[in-house]
Amino acid sequence: MRRSKKERQSLLVQTIKETPFITDEELAEKFSVSVQTIRLDRLELSIPELRERIKTVAKKTLEDEVKSLPIEEVIGEIIDVELDSSAISMLEIMPEHVFKRNGIARGHHLFAQANSLAVALINDDLALTAKANIHFTSSVKLGERIIAKAKVMNIEEKSGRTTVEVSSFVQSELVFKGHFEMYRSKNK
């Protein structure tokens, strides 16, 4: 169904508000228009490109919140964090992340994204990974974007241990899942 420009732009604003990390390509497919049309619509509506939207969201929520490690040491870009509760990060798979012969991402990059997100989630000056149980469920290719979602499952007051579950996705496909037992220097 073809929509009017006004209707499409209204839906575009609503879609980006609900899903701020949607790409121009995904929007073009959703609205059955060209990527160029989406870019022109965004320009007309003063909606920044994806990378700028991510940076804006990240800067608002992170600078003063993450205690356990400097933001620049996190693998990927943290999009959202609620300490001792949940966090989300994004990693764009670039040529330096893949095997040259097949363009598949090296597993240690997926692990590093998930592990550093689990560390960043801990509301403490010191957080270390004590134990990790991980599963790679699908390969990730050059140019794909991994969204990692971390959630605190349990905080042990006595031992100072926190269990964090991280699930990583490319679009809606699960590509990695990990359970991390984190050590924190003080009790919550």
pLDDT category of residue 114 using cuts at 50, 70 and 90? very high
**Domain containing 13 — which CATH number?**
1.10.10.10
Residue with more model confidence, 78 or 12: 12
Per residue in 21-65, pLDDT (tens digit) is 788 888 999 999 999 999 999 988 888 887 776 666 555 555 557
Per residue in 148-159, pLDDT (tens digit) is 999 999 998 888
Residue with more model confidence, 71 or 130: 130
Q: Is the dihedral of CA 16, 19, 21, 23 positive or negative?
A: negative
- In the chain, how many H helices and how many E strands? 5, 6
Look at residue 188 and tell me whether its pLDDT is greater than 50: no
pTM: 0.69
**Tally of structural domains, the chain:** 2
Same structural domain, 41 and 68: no
Residue 55 counted as domain residue: no
List the domain range (segments joined by +) for residue 14. Answer: 5-47
Same structural domain, 22 and 92: no
CB 178 within 8 A of CB 132: yes
